[in-house]
Amino acid sequence: MEYRQLGRSGLKISTITMGTMTIGGGGKFAQVGDVGVADASRHVDLCLDAGVNLIDTADIYSTGVCEEIIGEVLGGKRKDGVLIATKARFSMGPGPNDGGLSRHHLISACEASLKRLKTDVIDLYQVHEWDGQTPLEETMEALDTLVRQGKVRYIGCSNYSGWHIMKALGVSALDKRQRFVSQQIHYTLEAREAEYELVPISIDQGLGILVWSPLAGGLLSGKHRRGQSPEGTRQLAGWNEPPIRDEERLWKIVDILVAIAAERGVSPAQVALAWLIGRQAVTSVIIGGRTEQQFRDNLAAAGLRLTEEERELLEAVSRPPVIYPYWHQLWTAKDRLGKADLSLLGPHV
């Protein structure tokens, strides 16, 4: 297992993070999985034995039950260097202040998570989604307070757009508050939109990237093929997150994954994960599962290194469409080339 620094922080995390959305199974998450305490304990042990040092969860997962199970499972394992990341933003009750990123909700949500997780500190506390009703100054001040109180060590964001991130970083700098060290995003061979704004921002601003659903909800695992989905999968249970907007492109990507995997004697899932782990600015990919076999297979991706030829095949089949105007492409190229090579772009630059 390789360990990478999380953004500009000094914290080092494993290139594979244990995801926990399958734990608990309450509400809509019953479609994803209903892993109980005994199985969760085995999955945690598998991950820790493989060198994973970060477990990612959220208060909304099974409306707190997931955090409770993790707290019960970890127990004394916290002394072994296990790091915990959780998130807050979504409504946890019927009240008008039971959700959002207000000072009121963030502080109460953090304290509730600490209690459920049976710990006195959260290593990475992430805002789960943008809140357009709460001033960013209030949100960043609340996160800064939690760090200074010793309840949180680092802060990050999840599912933010580029301008959301830049505005938040600007507020932190202006007010001399704690800044985000990471962002958690959706980024796969099938969904590479993050490369337009989010990945460049991470490189420029020194943010670590944690990737959620790196196998596109299992669609890149190789188990799903054209017109075929195995019984018991979340797709057949009605789960459609993240959405697939071009099925034909998806299946072409799966075909290449399957071919490379067969050649290397590994699973298509390992190939997809290894591609992500090797991408610029990616710190860690978050894996989840309902069975030990799923975890064992995914964890093996930590040791897989793709060749340049394999990466070129995956690049060719998954390259995202050009959506930015011509002037943006030119100025991006200018940044890459440097002053000495500007003549290559022609007299119009």
List active site positions: 61
Contact 117, 154 (CB under 8 A): no
Supply angle C-alpha 197, 202, 204, rounded to 5: 95
Terminus-to-terminus CA distance in the chain, angstroms? Answer: 45
**What are the distances in angstroms from CA 144 to CA 98, 139, 153?**
20, 9, 10
**Is the previous residue joined to 325 through a cis bond, with omega within 30 degrees of 0?**
no
CA nearest neighbour of 88 among 29, 25, 22, 139: 139
CA separation for the pair 69, 67 (Å, rounded): 5
Which burial class, exposed, middle or buried, applies to 132 when counting CB atoms under 10 A from its CB (0-12, 13-18, 19+)?
A: exposed
Supply angle C-alpha 78, 129, 182, rounded to 5: 55
**What are the distances in angstroms from CA 279 to CA 108, 135, 211, 269, 289?**
37, 34, 11, 16, 23
Q: Tell me the pairing of strands 152-158 and 122-127.
A: parallel
